[in-house]
Amino acid sequence: MRRPLGSVRARTALGATLVVALALAAAGIALLAVLRGNLVDQAGFQANVTARSVAEQVAGGVPFGRLDLPDDTEEHPVQVLDGKDRVVAVGKHIDAIEGTAARATRPVPTAGNAEPDGDDDTDTDADTEGGGQVGDDVTYASGAVTVAGERAAYRFAAVEAKAPDGTEATVWAGAPLAAEAATVSDVQDAMLAALPALLVVVAGVTWLVTGRALKPVEAIRRRMATITASEDLARRVPEPGTHDEVARLARTTNETLAALEASVERQRRFVADASHELRSPIASLRTQLEVGAAHPELLDVPGAVADTVRLQQLAADLLLLARLDAGERPGQARVELAALVREELAQRAGDRVPVAVEAAEPAPVAGSRGQLGRLLGNLLDNAQRHAEAAVTVSVRTAGRQAVLGVADDGAGVPEGERERIFERFVRLDDARSRDEGGAGLGLAIARDVAARHGGTLAVRRSPGGGALFELRLPVAEES
C-alpha cells in the first residue's frame, strides 16, 4: 500500500504549505509589531499634545490650583508634579495611576493649588507674567489609570515646564491604549481566520502544479516499467516538448536505452560469432581425433595441433575481450615502447615477412605491459597476413604523445572500410580461408586496449602503398 506522503507530489505540497505557513506567521508577527508600534506612537503623540497644553499654562504663570485640565479624564488623564515629584495637580475622578513618577492621586497642599473663590472671575492669563518656558524633551512611558473604578492601559508623555517665578513642574498626560489593543486584536483575528484558507489554496495549487510537472516523469516511469517487463530495448520513453529538466531526463533515458540496445545487440552478435568461430576448430579437431581413433595411421597430428593452437588463441582472445568489456583497468606500470618492440620481434623468428625497425626513439607510456604487447603482436600478425615483402615498425614521440606505427606493403585498406575493420569478427577478404585470415578479433582487441590506455588506434595509407596502423598513447609522466 502506497503511503500518502511517499510521493514527491505530496511531499512538495506539504513542504510548500509549511514554508508558506512559517512565512505568513513571521510576516504576521512583524505586521502586528509594526501596527502596535504605530498605534502606541499615535497615543504618545496625543499624550504629548495634552501634556504641552498644560505645560504652557504652567509656563504662562497659571497657579497649579487654577490649571485648566481636560474634563474628559478617561481620554486625557493628567498629573502635574513639582520639582520634588510631589503631585500638585491631577485630573478629576482619577482613583489610581501607575507608570508616572508618582502614584499619588491627591494634590499636596501648596500656595499655588488652593481652590479659587467661587465668585472670582478673574482671567487666569491676566494674572500671569511672562518669562516661563516649556521643555523640548519628552519622556514616554506606559502605565495604567483607574478612573471612576475602571482601570485601563495608557501611554504617558512627560513634559517639563518652568513658571515665570522659577517654579519647576513636570506634566504627565496620558492617552488610552484601548483602541490600539482593539485594532491589533481585530487584525490578529482576521489573519488567523484567513490563514487556514490561504494555506488550503497554497496546498491545492502546489498539488496541481506539481502533478502537472511530474506527469511526464510518471509517463517515463510507466514506459520504463513496460520496457523492463517486455525486455524490448528498441522502445523509447516519450520526450515532452518542453526544454526543461524533465525533457533532458527523457532524452538522456532514450540515449541510455539506445546504448543498452546497441550493447545487447553487440553482445548477441559476439556470442553468435564466437560460437560459430569455435565450432569450426572444435569440429575439425574432433573429426581428426575420431579418424585417428579408428585409423591411427591416418591421424593428422600437425593438423590437430594447429587446430588446438588456433582454438587456444581464439579462447584467449575471447577471454581478453570479456575482461575489456567488463571494464578491466590496465595497470600503471612504466612501459618503454621501443624496448617492447625489440622484445616482441625477438620472439617472432618464424615470421613469413621480415620486420624492419625504422626508428625506435625512447617513448615511455603507462599501462599494462602484457596488454600492450598483445596489441603490438596483433598489429604484426595483421601486417604479416597482408604484406607482400616488407613490414616496418617505428616508435617516436610527437609532443606529449608516444606514436607506434606498423606498416606493410600490401594492398592497404579501402578508405570506406577503415573503421569497419576494427569491429569484431570482421574480415574484408571473405575469399581467404579462416586459417589465413584469422577470426577477425585481433584489430578489435588492439583498439580496445588502446582505448583502455587513453589512446587511439587508426589506419591510413602507408608511404609504401599498404596499410599503416598508428597507435598514439600519452607519454608517461616522470616519477
Q: Among residues 67, 72, 173, 70, which one has the least CA distance to residue 125? A: 67
- Whether 95 and 204 map to the same domain: the answer is yes
- Whether 52 and 105 map to the same domain: the answer is yes
CATH of the domain at 306: 1.10.287.130
- Whether 414 and 296 map to the same domain: the answer is no
**Residues near 387 by beta carbon (within 8 Å), at least 6 away in sequence:** 352, 353, 408, 409, 410, 466
pLDDT of residue 308: 82
pLDDT of residue 117: 47
Residue type, 276: H
CB count within 10 Å of CB 190 equals 10
| 177 part of a folded domain | yes
- Name the residue range of residue 98's domain: 1-112+129-231
Sequential DSSP letters for 16-72: HHHHHHHHHHHHHHHHHHHHHHHHHHHHHHHHHHHHHHHHHHHHTT--GGG----S-
Averaged pLDDT for residues 343-366: 87
- Whether 217 and 98 map to the same domain: the answer is yes
Query: How far apart, in Å, are the Cα atoms of 398 and each of 202, 338, 363, 459, 479?
Result: 65, 15, 10, 17, 20
- Within 13 Å and on the Cβ side, how many CA atoms surround 114? 7
Domain closes at, from 269, 295, 325:
325
Please say whether the beta carbons of 163 and 61 come within 8 A.
yes
Residue 453 banded pLDDT, cuts 50, 70, 90:
very high
pTM higher than 0.75 = no
Locate cell 595497470: which residue?
A: 331
The total of structural domains in the chain comes to: 3
- Read off the C-alpha cell for 80: 502635574
Domain closes at, from 296, 325, 354:
325
Averaged pLDDT for residues 273-277: 73
Strands 456-461 and 364-367: unpaired
When mean pLDDT is compared across 102-116, 309-323, 335-349, 425-439, the lowest value belongs to 425-439
- Read off the C-alpha cell for 194: 484567513
| 262 part of a folded domain | yes
pLDDT of residue 113: 56
Q: Among residues 275, 298, 314, which one has the least CA distance to residue 435? A: 314
Distance of CA 230 to the CA centre of its chain: 35
Averaged pLDDT for residues 297-316: 79
- Whether 147 and 268 map to the same domain: the answer is no
- Whether 197 and 276 map to the same domain: the answer is no
Q: How many helices (H) and strands (E) does the chain have?
A: 8, 13
Does the pLDDT value for residue 258 go beyond 70? yes
- Whether 387 and 271 map to the same domain: the answer is no
∠ CA 104-110-115, rounded to 5° = 90
Domain closes at, from 269, 301, 325:
325
Between CA 154 and CA 140 the distance in angstroms is 11
| 119 part of a folded domain | no
- Whether 92 and 177 map to the same domain: the answer is yes
- Whether 313 and 346 map to the same domain: the answer is no
- Whether 17 and 104 map to the same domain: the answer is yes
- Virtual torsion, Cα 457, 419, 412, 346, nearest 10 deg: 30
pLDDT digits (tens, 9 = 90+) for 203-252: 999 999 888 888 888 888 888 888 888 888 888 888 888 888 888 888 99
CATH of the domain at 423: 3.30.565.10
- Whether 1 and 134 map to the same domain: the answer is yes
**Residues near 390 by beta carbon (within 8 Å), at least 6 away in sequence:** 353, 354, 356, 408, 409, 464
201-240 residues labelled b (16+ CB within 10 A) or e (exposed): ebbeebbeebeebbebeebbeebeeebeeeeebeebbebb
Q: Among residues 305, 301, 323, which one has the least CA distance to residue 313? A: 305
Q: Please tell me which residue, 406 or 259, carries the higher pLDDT value.
A: 406
